[in-house]
Structure 1
Amino acid sequence: MLSIDGKKGWQRLFPTTEFHMTTSPMMTQALSLSTLMLLVACVAPPPGPEIKTAERFTWRDAPVIDVLGLEPETDYWLNLERASAYTPTATERSSTLYRSDANGRIDTSVTLAKDEPTADPYFPIRSMSYADEPSQVQPGRLKIDLLTSTREPVTSRTIGIGTDPASYTEFALGAEFPGAFVWRRVEADAAEPILFVLGGSEGGDGGARYGSPAFVEAGYTVVGLPYYSPAWFGNSAAIPDLPRAFADLPIDYLERAVMAARQLDGVNPDSVQLMGTSKGAEYVLLASSLISDDSAGGGFCSVVANVPSDVVWEGWGAGANAGETSGFSWRGEPLDFVPYTDIGRALAARGRDDDYTMSDAHALGRKDNPDRVEPARIFVERIDEPVLVVGGDMDTVWPSGEMSRAIKTTRDVHGLETEAYIYPKAGHGSGGNPLRRGGQDNLAAQLENYPATFDFLARHARRDDCRD
């Protein structure tokens, strides 16, 4: 039994403190017991490892993960998993090696990931890889696992990521629009502005669903509008009643969908904004340049075009003839288009030792068909709504940086309000939510233009002249 008494015992605990005291035997025994309790408290082991984070990661704040109570100067794996926000039946995972500091702590805002030159709290999320298999983690949740260097589990925590799915409701726009969905906040208590969201060449509704929740949270009634649904790589079409080919797709379809959305309860029919990404950006720019303000499906408050095109491109898919079919139509007539150059080679190059990209097929198509460019141009000077464009010069899908500059230049000549965010080092993912997979340059771009997009939409949602 450990016994500490008198001046000598106190000095073991507090060597820099002098004590002058007179004690009786009873006092000495009481002091010994209380001192023993103090000593035990002083030498008790620290609490076990603990993962500290926000209860939910959102795009507004860096996703910092703080782990305490570790062995000092020791390697640990930090594993993340979530159901893919883009494809709910798929999984996104990452595994990142960190070394705890002298105090037994890993703070992803300051601790370097192994082999990374700078600390980046977004790294565990943006380095996630995609697996075409269901996740055990519920949508809207993120599982964080801490493991030893030999992959032995240490501790785990599950938090929210993105907008809470329980905060909004979903219903169909109508039978005329297969797969089109409407999202609205559960607590919406006033007529909300309408935001149409269109995805890209992946087809189906994944792009619209991925990009929409944060805007619902911001107070918009979001209409996700899929407009074609291919049967990629032998899979069945996700929405069988939509066209399977990206060929002669009718811009009129969006006009009719806007008419339907304006009839919904709880919306402001005079406040409709359009947002599209990639081919969806080509679509919304065409729509706003062709649909007149006095149409029941026209008169928009603003247009957001992420990684857009400034021309109409060739169509493809079942029933399309190479070099002969347009991607879009208007009032039943195909629109003029720019053909691709050797797009088959670009598609085959993926995963092979060939650096010919989709962007090359677009750029060379433009160069090889100079007489086709002007007739196929999207007449963005006819869009009287404010426009925001985002593009990247390292885009390997199509030259969105160059095409965004062309849009901005044309509109500037005509004195039309245009915001442009164009990045020399970013690519096809230069716009959108920063809580996504991707490279550092795309992330830097997103951290600037994503908040700017919310600001842009908010400034124009309450305009009273959108339909004039």
Structure 2
Amino acid sequence: MKKKMIMIVGIVALFMGGYFVLDNMLYTGVRPEAIETNGFRANFYAQDDTSNETTLILIGGGQWGDYWGHEVAQRGMVGLSLPYLGKKELPILPEEIDLVYFENAITWLREQPEVNPDKIVVMGASRNAELALILATSFTETVSGVIAYAPSSVSWSNTVLPYNSNKIKASWTYKGSDIAYVPMDKIAANAQGDIDFLSYWRSGLAKKDFVEKASIKVENIKGPILLFSGKDDLVWPSSEMANSIENRLEEEQFEYDFENIKYDEAGHLISTNPDDRSRMESGSITIDDKEYAYTFGGTADGDYSAKQDAKNRVITFLTKL
């Protein structure tokens, strides 16, 4: 049971964007305030004299969220590292996660004197990028912008994670109603006995009827959008999905600023600690009691260069809001 739980945590970390195994946190300036109120748990980052500032919500929390919360607070802004899985009294896996949890966090933030309620941005990576985009489309009056690393253009069913329930469900809900999703069978080995992540996701994107309903309505977002992806992402086709988002925004004549930044020689893990040159090149996944290896894509130099450039762009995005 312990081994299986470790595998579950590893898969969740891969797709849900915490990437805690790669980050090294050093609190040299702003220490977090642990928040447990309004039905949510988070780390709140702000300097003592901060007032009415731009705020960044880090969807998924973890050391990734703490890194960014600390970074923005050091620059006079506010950060909220917001986990929603794995912590005390929180779900273990992303199935039927109610957006009310995040709505409660936003409502609380808007009441804090450090926060400018008209400048709240959500940021996520991988499936948390999917969630960040959904939050920005769902709470258009209270979310003022979104930053998405390795994004998805659609909402996916719970079954895209091997250790979720076998029954197909929505990953995200709102007050009892499902957020429309692309239903997926669980990933399995191909005829050659390999796990092909990219083919798996592309098979979902080929389900046109479902994709039409499950496409994230990014044109409804009332604020700027910033997307990052690695052109060599081998975990899922993030650059392709970023292009789909861009095409949708152009078709709908989106009126706010939008950037779709795609990096050569960069893979899936471009959202990890921007100041850390270390990287994971590969991982493994166990399906039906068999272990399969996979790679994240990118090169060491490509990933590091992408992370550094993206960090600068994130800070610029926030300061210009």
TM range (shorter): 0.7 to 0.9
Q: Quote the Cα distance in structure 2 between the aligned partners of 1:339 and 1:358.
A: 16
How far apart, CA to CA, are the structure 2 residues paired with 1:179 and 1:219? 23
- Give the match for residue 173 of structure 2: 329
CA RMSD, Structure 1 to Structure 2 (Å) = 2.8
TM-score (normalizing by structure 2): 0.77
In 2, Cα distance between the equivalents of 1:243 and 1:279?
Answer: 16
- Of residues 8, 26, 29, the one that matches 1:167 is 29
Identity %: 25
**Aligned twin of 1:198:** 59
SS in structure 2 of the partner of residue 224 of structure 1: strand
The partner residue of 2:217 within 379, 401, 412 is 379
> Partner of 2:187 in structure 1?
343
**Residue deviations 1:181-238, cap 9 Å, x none?**
101125x354332211113xxxx63331243322221222111111122xxxxxxxxx
Q: Is 1:411 equivalent to 2:249 in the alignment?
A: yes
**Larger Rg belongs to:** 1
Match of 2:316 in 1: 455
**Residues 1:277 and 1:408: Cα distance change in structure 2 (over 3 Å):** same
Higher helix share: 2
Instruction: Give 2:4's aligned residue.
Output: none
Contact 2:153 2:245 in 1 (8 A): yes
Q: 2:274 aligns with which of 415, 423, 434?
A: 434
Matched positions, count: 279
The amino acid of 1:213's aligned partner reads H
Which residue is 1:248 aligned to? 96
* 2:239 is the counterpart of 1:401: yes
Query: Could you give the per-residue CA deviations for residues 148-203 of structure 1, whole angstroms, max 9, x where no partner exists?
Result: xxxxxxxxxxxxxxxxx1411321333334431101125x354332211113xxxx
Distance 2:114 2:208 in 1: 48
Question: What corresponds to 2:78 in structure 1?
Answer: 221
SS at match of 2:314: helix
Distance 1:444 1:170, change over 3 A: closer
CA distance in 2, matches of 1:331, 1:291: 13
C-alpha spacing 1:344/1:318, structure 2 compared with 1 (3 Å) = closer
SS across alignment from 2:38:
coil
3-state SS of the aligned residue for 1:390? strand
CA spacing shift, 1:139–1:411, aligned 2, 3 Å: closer
The CA distance in 1 between the partners of 2:74 and 2:262, in whole Å, is: 27
Could you tell me how far 1:251 is from its partner in structure 2?
A: 1.8
Instruction: Tell me: CA distance 1:228–1:458, structure 2 relative to 1, closer, same or farther (3 Å).
Output: same
Tell whether the 8 Å contact from 1:194 to 1:273 is kept in structure 2 after alignment: yes
Long gaps (5+) in structure 1: 1-84, 93-129, 131-137, 141-164, 230-238, 347-352, 461-468
Q: Which amino acid aligns with 1:228?
A: L
- Return the alpha-carbon distance in structure 2 between the equivalents of residues 261 and 189 of structure 1: 14
Change (3 A) 1:86 1:313: closer
Letter in 2 for 1:279: R
Which residue of structure 1 lines up, in the alignment, with residue 294 of structure 2?
none
CA contact (8 A) 2:54 2:318 kept: no
Q: Partner of 2:304: helix, strand, or coil?
A: helix
Going from structure 1 to structure 2, the CA distance change for 1:358 and 1:212 (only over 3 Å counts) comes to farther
Any gaps of 5 or more consecutive residues in structure 2? 1-17, 280-299
1:303 CA displacement:
1.0
